[in-house]
Amino acid sequence: MATTIHTTEELTGQTPAAAKPGMVFRANGAGVTFRERFVHDRANLQFLDCGEYDIPAGGHSSWFGVPGREALLFMWKGAARVEMAEGSYDLAPYDTLYIPLGTAFRLSNESGALARIIQTSAPASHVHPVFHSRFEEFSRREDRIRHLKGKEVYLMFDVGEAADKLVAGYTFYQAYTRAWPPHNHTDQEETYIFIKGHGAMEVYDTPENMTFVHALNEGDLVTIPYLNYHPVFSQEEPLEFIWCIAGERYWVGDKNKDFMKGTGPAITT
């Protein structure tokens, strides 16, 4: 008995699309990667996790997400696009983007150079709007800048933006500058992520326990649990770092004016 072979067009009534060729992806080929830097329960923290994405030139990622958490993306190196259901956001260097609870996103890089994005996240119970802070704009707005002796603080995601726990920004030190007065928090934990230059940092609960003193270079980060003082020192060149808070939402200098004056004893908030 003869076998009848029907074409796709005969079976479906539709003209088939032209077949697309298969592709080879080599084991050593470049792709979008995520690297965990720390998770809260292994970093003496209650809330904050941190990682970073590398997006090669021309790279496109699958969908990412941080279930149960709100997140901030910091555009550290190069430029990239972040796509969400709400829309697409083009991130220039040092831009910051708030990712709401339960929101999936994907990344792309149409430039000719590697892009690197840092991500921090914390648990959340509420969905808040996406917020894109452009560094080119915010670095010129006096309402977003706090001028301290030898340093500038840029409030990229401040208390005026809706979130459950996160507040974040950048601090730029001039050469040979230190934080003063020392301060700690009863209701905030932090991470400092060093993105340019090199310096040093102490983390301690009392002066008698001032044993955590480290030299820090670009790409290093430090976690700051509750009740720890955390002064930073720049050396022979300027120093830049991200600071990200999880907990009560304020910046120390807006809550305690003695910090802005740079005088007085240690401050606890």
Structure confidence by residue, pLDDT tens digits, 226-260? 999 999 999 999 999 999 999 999 999 899 888 88
Q: Are strands 183-184 and 267-268 parallel, antiparallel or unpaired?
A: parallel
Q: Kindly state the tokens that stand for 132.
A: 């894109």
Cβ 114 vs Cβ 68: under 8 Å: no
Instruction: Judge if 33-132 and 135-261 fold alike in CATH terms.
Output: yes
Question: For 108-137, how does the pLDDT look when each residue is reduced to its tens digit (9 = 90+)?
Answer: 999 989 999 999 999 999 999 999 999 999
The better pLDDT of the pair 46, 207 is held by 46
The total number of residues written for the chain in this structure: 269
What's the CATH code, domain 33-132? 2.60.120.10
CA distance 178 to 4: 84
The predicted model scores a pTM of: 0.91
| Confidence category of residue 264, pLDDT binned at 50, 70, 90 | confident
**Residue 72: pLDDT over 60:** yes
At residue 264, the 3 state secondary structure works out as: coil
Cβ 96 vs Cβ 168: under 8 Å: yes
Alpha-carbon Rg for the chain, nearest whole angstrom, is 23
Mean pLDDT, range 193-220, rounded to an integer: 89
**Residue 13: pLDDT over 80:** no
Q: Kindly state the tokens that stand for 17.
A: 């699309």
∠ Cα 95 66 112 (to 5°):
40
User: Tell me, what's the pLDDT at 224?
Assistant: 95
Query: What are the extents of the domains in the chain?
Result: 33-132, 135-261
Looking at the chain, list the stretches that DSSP marks H as alpha helix, in order from N- to C-terminal side. 8-12, 135-138, 252-255, 257-261
Lowest mean pLDDT among 10-24, 103-117, 150-164: 10-24
What type of residue is 45? L
The better pLDDT of the pair 213, 118 is held by 118
Cβ 54 vs Cβ 114: under 8 Å: yes
What's the CATH code, domain 135-261? 2.60.120.10
**Residue 146: pLDDT over 80:** yes
**In 78-113, at which residue ranges do the beta strands (DSSP E only) sit?**
80-84, 87-91, 96-99, 106-108
Mean pLDDT, range 177-195, rounded to an integer: 94
Lowest mean pLDDT among 45-54, 207-216, 231-240: 207-216
What type of residue is 193? I
User: Tell me, what's the pLDDT at 4?
Assistant: 66
